[in-house]
Chains A and B, each alone.
Chain A
Amino acid sequence: EAGVTQFPSHSVIEKGQTVTLRCDPISGHDNLYWYRRVMGKEIKFLLHFVKESKQDESGMPNNRFLAERTGGTYSTLKVQPAELEDSGVYFCASSQEWSSGRNWLLSEQFFGPGTRLTVL
């Protein structure tokens, strides 16, 4: 079974440009998460999709970031326009079924290899 994949693995762009990151979760996983790790800091939560719906986007830093998951399969995270402080590694993770009455945090999250974004 294929794991979580992310594309591209690296992206170097100039300040003000737009970048779109893609995440393909494990097939059949309802939950999809985006995280990022900026230089020297800890991994931070950005948002959580349950199928195609945004369950929690409280970690999104500002309105330059837009995440979508059309059809509840793959997800994209667009940064427009990119700023220097957006540089870091963006991770995607997925986990199995969603149940509102269940502690979903106990479902193992499988992480992708990350996309390293450098904004010059």
Chain B
Amino acid sequence: TQLLEQSPQFLSIQEGENLTVYCNSSSVFSSLQWYRQEPGEGPVLLVTVVTGGEVKKLKRLTFQFGDARKDSSLHITAAQPGDTGLYLCAGGSARQLTFGSGTQLTVLP
């Protein structure tokens, strides 16, 4: 069974601070996706990375796929209250997505 461990589970920071969320596994994935979920809604895709070592930037968010394609990180620069939400990583292999347990981020004004 493939597992994705996310850390931290909860993160509460002040507006303007930087943060990094980690997603780690002992398994290799063909792709790694990051989602954000708001209360009462389903996850929304933020980014997909497919190449080991790949880095993608989406405004203040930077996503990195580990060289061995077993881990990934999400870095947010100058966090804003609008960044508050549940961040999920999901690894793709074979024909399924394996989700991590999520990081609940709260950005305080």
Contact = CB atoms under 8 A, between A and B. Distances in A.
Interface of A: 4, 35, 41-45, 48, 55-56, 58-59, 91, 93, 103-106, 108-114
Nearest to A40: B101
Contact of A114 (B42, B50, B97): B42
A103 B51 CA distance: 13
Interface string B31-68: 10000000011111100101000000000000000000
A45 B102 contact: no
Q: Which 8 A/B pairs are nearest by Cβ-Cβ distance?
A: A111-B42, A105-B92, A43-B99, A42-B101, A42-B99, A45-B96, A56-B95, A111-B43
Nearest to B91: A105
Given A42-B101, A91-B42, A106 B96 contact: no
A81 B41 CA distance: 27
A55 B101 contact: no
Interface residues of B, number: 22
B79 interface: no
B74 interface: no
Nearest to A9: B40
Interface of B: 4, 30-31, 40-45, 48, 50, 88, 90, 92, 95-102
A41 to B, nearest CB: 7
Nearest to A105: B92
Contact of B4 (A42, A105, A111): A42
A59 B94 CA distance: 13
A42 B35 CA distance: 13
Contacts of B88: 43
B45 A103 contact: no
Nearest to A93: B42
Contacts of A44: 99
B102 A42 contact: yes
Contact of B30 (A35, A45, A59, A105): A105
Nearest to A45: B96
A106 B45 contact: no
